């Protein structure tokens, strides 16, 4: 049976404020049965708060309206959470207790050491257990408020990536990225320009005194920024590739969802400022497509599928691709850009029993 998803479009029939997206967002929240979801419960709103010089994250106004609606529904407590570094820098993107109406909490404590270990049974390749963030697990209700973006490692980031990479600690993120393989350095091609070291967001790369490339895999998160930025193409990735990464993310997401009782999860995906890379890159680039809208529902598989379906290659904005990127003409827009089928995560989540890919959209006017 198809899952019903609420949809609010950015498109407006006229210039009356009541027909704008902000007003539709309020009406969509009224359509959700938030009282049944949140009354007398502790609610964790998981977001990606961004970082670096990026500013295309979910607008604080939208967050405040969500928080206020949950509070009106009788929630015992509402808090927005993300990794400790993102929370420390959240005010740079306008996220404060005053602007969003609730506290901001590091998902696993300020030292990223508060977690619960869960076994992956059966183990998937090298992934035998994951460490789930304690503040997420301790909550009664999870609201997964995700921001749809492209992604160099897995094709795209949405509701599943927001949990599998954001509701865990750093050790689990490294395990998941390690499923892709390792970094391979071609000494003959390398010009020692230093771009990879300079632009590594985790300071994991260096050259020793003999000019030999070195990777600190304790801090490397396999984001592939070095691969893409190297002008000589001297760095490549070995291993099972993005399919294994997506499969690992799906299994981690499933473990996160298992910690919540049926009916205690809500998924909201914003399809606005859809850029080529996700917010974890810490920068903002031109939007690939016009702003689409927002989806909400209780089936993560359906919402991932619907979000992907609504981001279309034929809507690509001319001039939005960075230099060196072209469309291949095959598959989804994100696949044409990154060479990775983003629907792999939908298939994996469905196979794991997290939901169904079939959906119907109920448009909120």
Question: What does the alpha-carbon distance between residue 353 and residue 299 come to, in Å, rounded to a whole number?
Answer: 11
Q: Are 68 and 79 in contact (CB under 8 A)?
A: no
Kind and range of the H or E run holding 77: strand 77-82
CA distances from 220 to 83, 114, 170 (A): 16, 21, 10
Q: What is the pTM of this model?
A: 0.88
Is domain 3-171+243-363 given the CATH code 3.30.70 in the classification? no
Nearest Cα neighbor of 22 from 293, 241, 234 is 293
Q: Classify domain 182-237 at the CATH class level.
A: alpha beta
* CA separation for the pair 245, 170 (Å, rounded): 15
- Cβ-in-10-Å burial (0-12, 13-18, 19+) of 328 comes to exposed
Nearest Cα to 79, choosing from 163, 147, 136, 159? 136
Let me know if the fold of 3-171+243-363 is the same as that of 182-237.
Answer: no
CA distance 217 to 29: 43
* Alpha-carbon span 348 to 185, nearest angstrom: 32
Q: How far is CA 312 from CA 33, 198, 274, 323, 364, in A?
A: 31, 34, 11, 21, 21
Distance CA 254, CA 96 (A): 30
- Give the whole-angstrom CA distance, residue 310 versus residue 327: 18
Q: What integer pLDDT is reported at residue 221 of this predicted model?
A: 63
Closest Cα to residue 41, out of 162, 163, 142?
142
H/E element holding 281?
none
| Confidence at residue 244, expressed as pLDDT on a 0 to 100 scale | 92
CA dist 11 and 8 (Å) reads 9
d(CA 256, CA 242): 21
Residues 6 or more apart in contact with residue 30 via CB below 8 angstroms: 69
CB count in 10 Å sphere of residue 68:
16
Per-residue pLDDT, 114: 98
Is residue 237 classed as helix, strand or coil in its secondary structure? Answer: strand
The pLDDT of residue 338 is 87
pLDDT at 202: 73
209, two tokens: 């005194």
Using 70 as the pLDDT threshold, list the residues of the chain that sit under it.
Answer: 217-219, 221-222, 239-240
60: Cβ–Cβ under 8 A, 6 or more apart, which residues?
A: 93, 94, 95, 99, 100
Residues 6+ apart with CB under 8 A from 302: 2, 3, 5, 355, 356, 357, 358, 359
Q: What is the pLDDT of residue 183?
A: 85
Contact 307, 16 (CB under 8 A): no
Per residue in 227-244, pLDDT tens?
Answer: 989 999 999 877 667 899
For the chain, domain boundaries = 3-171+243-363, 182-237
DSSP for 96-126 reads -HHHHSSEEEETTTTTT--EEEEEEEEEETT
């Amino acid at each position: 049976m198809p899952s019903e998803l609420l949809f609010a479009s950015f498109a407006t029939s006229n210039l009356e404020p009541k027909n704008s997206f902000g007003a539709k967002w309020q009406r969509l929240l009224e359509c959700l049965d938030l009282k049944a979801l949140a009354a007398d419960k502790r609610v964790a709103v998981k977001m990606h708060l961004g970082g670096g010089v990026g500013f295309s994250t979910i607008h604080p106004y939208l967050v405040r309206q969500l928080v206020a609606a949950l509070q009106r529904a009788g929630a015992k407590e509402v808090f927005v959470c993300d990794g400790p570094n993102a929370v420390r820098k959240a005010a740079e993107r306008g996220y404060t207790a005053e602007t969003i109406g609730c506290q901001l909490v590091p998902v696993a404590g300020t030292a990223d050491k508060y977690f619960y270990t869960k076994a992956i049974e059966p183990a998937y390749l090298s992934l035998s257990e994951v460490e789930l963030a304690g503040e997420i697990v301790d909550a009664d209700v999870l609201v997964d408020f995700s921001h749809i973006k492209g992604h160099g490692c897995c094709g795209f980031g949405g509701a599943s990536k927001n949990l599998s990479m954001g509701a865990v600690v750093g050790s689990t993120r490294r395990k998941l990225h390690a499923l892709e393989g390792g970094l391979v350095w071609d000494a003959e091609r390398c010009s020692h320009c230093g771009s990879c070291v300079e632009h590594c967001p985790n300071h994991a790369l260096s050259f020793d005194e003999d000019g030999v490339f070195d990777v600190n895999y304790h801090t490397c998160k396999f984001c592939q920024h070095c691969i893409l930025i190297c002008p000589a193409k001297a760095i490549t990735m070995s291993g099972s590739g993005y399919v294994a990464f997506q499969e690992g993310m799906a299994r981690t997401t499933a473990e996160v969802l298992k910690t919540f009782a049926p009916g205690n999860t809500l998924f909201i995906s914003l399809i606005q400022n859809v850029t080529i890379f996700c917010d974890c890159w810490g920068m903002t680039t031109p939007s690939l497509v016009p702003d689409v809208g927002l989806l909400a529902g209780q089936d993560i598989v359906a919402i991932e599928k619907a979000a992907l379906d609504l981001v279309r290659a034929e809507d690509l904005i001319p001039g939005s691709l960075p230099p060196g990127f072209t469309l291949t003409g095959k598959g989804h827009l994100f696949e044409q850009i990154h060479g990775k089928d983003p629907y792999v995560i939908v298939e994996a989540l469905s196979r794991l029993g997290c939901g169904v890919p079939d959906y119907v959209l109920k448009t909120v006017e």
